[in-house]
Structure 1
Amino acid sequence: MTPQDSAGRGLFITFEGIDGSGKSTQARLLAEALRGLGRDVVLTREPGGSPGAEEIRALVLEGDPDRWSAETEILLFTAARRDHLERTIAPALDRGQVVICDRFADSTRMYQGLSRGDLRGLVDQLHDLMIARDPDLTVLIDMDPDTGLGRALSRNGHEERFEEFGPDLQRKMRAGFLALAREFPARFRVVDGNRAIELVAAEVREIVLDALT
């Protein structure tokens, strides 16, 4: 079965990884590749992806790193994700489109549930109650933490709250994401991001095309 043949079946793909891992680039390259094969693709991101969720994105990613407590961040991210799911993700999947999302619930499990306290249980409870949807496939771009942090800080953007937590957070997050991949082996695929962009993209395409068959 070719990608075109399976066009009636939606597929929800997420990209995860530490800051600076290249996941956003790989998500974009995958979207371009699938569109070139005739697939109808929605490329989106979290937090964000819908008008209401984008407003919440500005609240959580800009300003002082200690602006919100971990509990408040979990509530904000869950609210944004619910709006994103209702207005963007679920309708696209119902139409048979491929949804490619730069971050989803696994990032909240890491950044709020692990890095800022032992709140993973709370994240999962809210996810089960308000989201109740996991990706069909999660591509984890694994990256050396120091390299990733250097890349993230070099962007000089306005959304650097979590990069500002420093290299210790990056190392903790990498270990946490790899642990998630072991916890959910059915949907996670780990890709070595410490290579040329083109090599990473080729492996990602192979993984996704296999999932579409």
Structure 2
Amino acid sequence: CDQFDTMWRVFPDELKNSGEYYFKGGSLNTYFPNKKYGNDIDKINAGCLWLFKQFYGSLYNFSSNANENMNIVTYIMTWVSYKLNQKKQDGITKFNEFYSRHIKNVDEYNNSIEDSTEYRSYIDLMNKKQELMDIDIKLMSKLYDLFKNLCKMYNDFSKKSNNRKNYIEYANKFADEYKKLFNDNDNNVEG
């Protein structure tokens, strides 16, 4: 959650009053694919690449995260879906559409991962999550909201361990949102 906390500071989930992304750039500026800057897709791609680099960029991080916690790829995919859902982008309604148009043929996603034998690139990591590719970004955004709530709880817990009331509020919010998502007949999700 620490890496996502950093992401939320440089590329917050809230939009500006004008409806534009609030993008501080900072460390993300070096992650624009193909060195293209400026449009919303480029900003989302920079955030996505930055997250992959944080979790899988070094041999140590890669071996820890790829072998122990492939769910991080899911969290990254839900973040991308959330950002795409905030502002409609080229008619993209599923992660797979973004993947096909803006990830699959980008060098930075296809570059070899140092000393990895099982996963050769970030593309290989995403391809392990094929079951998520065709889920509507609206639903993925709801999953992201759940993930973000858990991260806030985790981050607050690691900073101030004495305020139990906050944790109960986070837990109740998570349970309520989960129930809504689980009982939503429009999401076509079972279990």
**Bin for the TM-score computed over the shorter chain:** 0.3 to 0.5
TM-score (norm 2): 0.34
Structure having greater relative contact order (Cα 8 Å, sep ≥ 6)? 1
Greater helix share, structure number: 2
TM-score (norm 1): 0.32
Greater strand share, structure number: 1
